[in-house]
Amino acid sequence: MIQPEDSKSQQLRHDLRAWLLRPSIRAKIMGIVLALVLLLGLGATWQVRVNMTNALLAQLQERSVSIARDVAAHSTDFILINNTYALHELLQDTIQNNADLRYAFILDANNRVLVHSFDGGFPRGLAEKNSVTSDERAHSVLLQSDEGVIHDIAVPIFEGRAGIARIGLTEASVHRAVNDLTSQMLLTTMMVSLLGVGAAYLLTLILTRPILTLVDVTQAVARGDLTRQAPQWGDDEIGKLSTAFNRMTTELDASQRAILRRNRELAALNAVANAVNAPAPLGETLDRSLRALLDSLDLPASWTFLRDHASGQIELTTWIGLPHELGLREAETALHGCPCTVAITNKQSVVVSPLPERCPLREARTITSHVTVPIVSHERVLGVLGVASGDANAFSPDEVKLLEAVGQELGIAVENARLWDDLREKERVRGQLLEKVIGAQEEERKRIARELHDDTGQAITSLMVGLRAAGDTSELTTRTRLDALREIAAQTLESVKRLARELRPAALDDLGLAAALERYALNYRANYGLGVDLQMTGFQYDTRLTSEIELALYRIIQEALTNVAKHAHAKNVSIVVERKRAAVVAIVEDDGRGFDVRAILESAQDETKLGLHGMRERAELVGGQLKIESTLGKGSSVFVEIPIQ
């Protein structure tokens, strides 16, 4: 179930509050002090780091421009006199005097490299990364390299007419300086944090000692020792809390017995209810219920006798905790002569204590009393529940009421189990009848197809032969009419053959499902003019499916295609049949107008949904499942999956 946004926010706040309140007071105070110190220290460190980084980067930018302009100024004369050696020496001196300078080079007016400081050759494409116009003082770009960010500065030489001076400075020195300062500030923050935690610890030690003492007393009370009293620490808030706590323990001692007794009853009812609600046969359900009841009430033995569903005789159903021969002896007498029969005849619970002389339970030396309550459902007594104890005074009126409630729970379980048994039997009989009906239908289809093919087909063939013979000996006018009649007879013969094939295709029995569906799809395309796409996957195995599965799939697909032709107004239909390792899956889809599946299945006109139910029943008879999906205006789909044994 999706919760509203308000519920989600309330739950989030509740969880956050619980998380914040979970630590101890000492931990909270120390945590607050530590958090404040760390917050202030880290905040100051971060602010100083950011400001220092910005300032050093600005200085680096100014210094890089200054170095580049200095190179440009000193290289002007060398360029004009074409002194390449002096230019190279100028670059080397500049790099040696600036540790964070990574490269320097000079381009002529045509953007060609005159000199550079690279040992392994001038990098390809570096000259085009930065350019400067003659009216600019300098132009800077940031380049990524293996050492990090490089500040590339371009300065025009002699207003650009002599070329461009380019240098590249790394930010490594800036980051080293910032990291050194950050480390020092973090170390200072850690030292201040340790001093703050120490001071907070001393303060919390004074405040939390009486609280911890009260917690110790509370834990003793939680273990069941209600005699412990909290010491008085004065008239402050903690002292008032101790007084209120002592008063509470006194009141708890008075109500503890009642609560425990009620919890015991509820636990027994809950255990029985859980056992009853778990899906299982009746005998297993009763056995599990009685064992849960005995565990909850700490009793040694229990049993149930139920009336037979047909004869009404009392029969032993469950016997736990005592020798089984005692239960068989009780079953032989059908409780005759036993005070327990009052529970059956008068629907009243009976407490038997002490045990009568003739009671078989006396042979169990540990049993001194027992109670018998009726198992009731809808005012009918279905049997009795018995519970035994080694204490003669174990079954008080409250205990008897609890067991009567258990008897009602067991009555519902017995009634439901019997109803389910009846329903399963009816479903089994229905399945058998349905299987016989479908088998009879298929046999009748075989017989009709055989008669159509043999008798009717041969009769029409004989009629065609006679018409042809009569036409050969007749006049022209009569011959024309006889030829027309012979053509009608030929069409009728073809329709009879098609009908015989649809009633029981011989290819299904002889060649298997794949060949039968291919032939049916071919005829379907010719008869109805629809585009049919048939895909058969996994049928290359030597072993065929069972005849029941092949017949069920063939009839389901045949019915689905018939519905498409009659009702869907579709143009195309797709058939996919896939044989997997453990199942065979078939899908029939069309692009027709679709329909409301739920409305059709729930409609009062049986003929509109008979085919759909027939498809589903055929799938269920072979252990499969069928699902129909459709959307108005978007076509329909039939999915069927049948397990392969």
Question: What is residue 505's three-state secondary structure?
Answer: coil
d(CA 431, CA 332): 39
168 backbone dihedrals φ, ψ, rounded to 5°: -135, 120
DSSP labels, 356-369? PTT-GGGGSTT--E
| Tokens found for residue 571 | 């143009």
pLDDT at 351: 83
Average pLDDT over residues 408-432: 72
H-helix or E-strand spanning residue 182? helix 172-222
pLDDT at 610: 57
Q: Do domains 20-226 and 261-504 have the same CATH topology?
A: yes
Q: How confident is the model at residue 567 (pLDDT cuts 50, 70, 90)?
A: confident
For residue 632, pLDDT over 80 is answered with yes
| Tokens found for residue 74 | 């000193």
Dihedral, 472, 474, 478, 484 alpha carbons, nearest 10? -10
d(CA 94, CA 89): 9
Q: How many residues does the chain have?
A: 645
605 backbone dihedrals φ, ψ, rounded to 5°: -85, 105
Asked whether the beta carbons of 374 and 407 are under 8 A apart, the reply is: yes
CB burial string 609-643: b at 16+ within 10 A, e below: bebbebbbbbbebbebebebebeeeebbbbbbbbe
Strands (E), 539-582: 572-579
Average pLDDT over residues 572-594: 91
| Tokens found for residue 77 | 């004369």
Q: How confident is the model at residue 2 (pLDDT cuts 50, 70, 90)?
A: very low
- Give residue-wise pLDDT tens across range 47-105: 888 898 898 888 888 988 898 889 888 888 888 888 888 888 888 888 888 888 988 99
For residue 603, pLDDT over 90 is answered with no
- Give residue-wise pLDDT tens across range 371-387: 888 888 877 888 888 88
Asked whether the beta carbons of 518 and 511 are under 8 A apart, the reply is: no
Comparing 124-133, 144-153, 448-457, 596-605, which segment has the lowest mean pLDDT?
448-457
Asked whether the beta carbons of 247 and 229 are under 8 A apart, the reply is: no
pLDDT at 334: 55
Higher pLDDT, 243 or 474: 243
pLDDT at 1: 42
Superfamily classification of domain 261-504 = GAF domain (3.30.450.40)
d(CA 241, CA 607): 80
pLDDT at 591: 92
pLDDT at 4: 54
H-helix or E-strand spanning residue 168? strand 163-170
Q: Which amino acid is at 527?
A: N
Higher pLDDT, 310 or 593: 593
Q: How confident is the model at residue 214 (pLDDT cuts 50, 70, 90)?
A: confident
Higher pLDDT, 228 or 586: 586
Comparing 381-390, 394-403, 450-459, which segment has the lowest mean pLDDT?
450-459
Q: How confident is the model at residue 400 (pLDDT cuts 50, 70, 90)?
A: confident
Q: How many CB atoms lie within 10 A of CB 257?
A: 9
Q: Are strands 301-307 and 380-389 parallel, antiparallel or unpaired?
A: antiparallel
d(CA 291, CA 301): 9
Nearest to 199 by CA among 29, 327, 322, 436: 29
Q: Please tell me what DSSP assigns to residue 137.
A: S
- Give residue-wise pLDDT tens across range 509-543: 677 888 888 888 888 888 888 999 999 888 876 67
Q: How confident is the model at residue 496 (pLDDT cuts 50, 70, 90)?
A: low
pLDDT at 501: 58
Cα→Cα distances 344→349, 354, 389, 400, 420, Å:
9, 21, 21, 16, 24
Q: Please tell me what DSSP assigns to residue 336.
A: T
pLDDT at 329: 74
d(CA 126, CA 345): 108
Q: Greatest CA span in the chain, whole angstroms?
A: 139
d(CA 579, CA 536): 8
d(CA 462, CA 464): 5
Helix%, strand%, coil% for the chain, nearest 5 = 60, 15, 25
Asked whether the beta carbons of 253 and 226 are under 8 A apart, the reply is: yes
| Tokens found for residue 565 | 């032709």
Average pLDDT over residues 240-261: 75
For residue 584, pLDDT over 60 is answered with yes
Q: How confident is the model at residue 479 (pLDDT cuts 50, 70, 90)?
A: low
Residues 147-153: contacts with CB under 8 Å, at least 24 apart: 147/102, 147/172, 148/172, 148/175, 150/102, 151/60, 151/61, 151/64, 153/64, 153/65, 153/67, 153/68
For residue 453, pLDDT over 70 is answered with no
| Tokens found for residue 334 | 């059908």
Comparing 30-39, 158-167, 240-249, 273-282, which segment has the lowest mean pLDDT?
273-282
Strands (E), 178-283: none
Rg (CA), the chain: 49
d(CA 266, CA 458): 82
pLDDT at 431: 60
Higher pLDDT, 542 or 393: 393
Higher pLDDT, 444 or 615: 615
Range among 59-68, 264-273, 334-343 with highest mean pLDDT value: 59-68
| Tokens found for residue 265 | 């009853």
Ordered alpha helix ranges (H), 22-168:
25-80, 84-97
Average pLDDT over residues 429-447: 60
Q: How many CB atoms lie within 10 A of CB 280?
A: 15
Q: What is the mean pLDDT of the chain?
A: 79
Asked whether the beta carbons of 154 and 3 are under 8 A apart, the reply is: no
Higher pLDDT, 315 or 585: 585
pLDDT at 60: 85
Average pLDDT over residues 598-610: 62
pLDDT at 190: 85
**Residue listed under structure tokens 């036409």:** 471
For residue 608, pLDDT over 60 is answered with no
For residue 505, pLDDT over 70 is answered with no
User: Per-domain residue ranges for the chain?
Assistant: 20-226, 261-504, 510-643
CATH entry 3.40.470.10 includes domain 20-226: no
Q: Of 1.10.10.10, 3.30.565.10, 3.40.190.10, 2.40.160.10, which CATH number belongs to 510-643?
A: 3.30.565.10
Comparing 147-151, 270-274, 469-473, which segment has the lowest mean pLDDT?
469-473
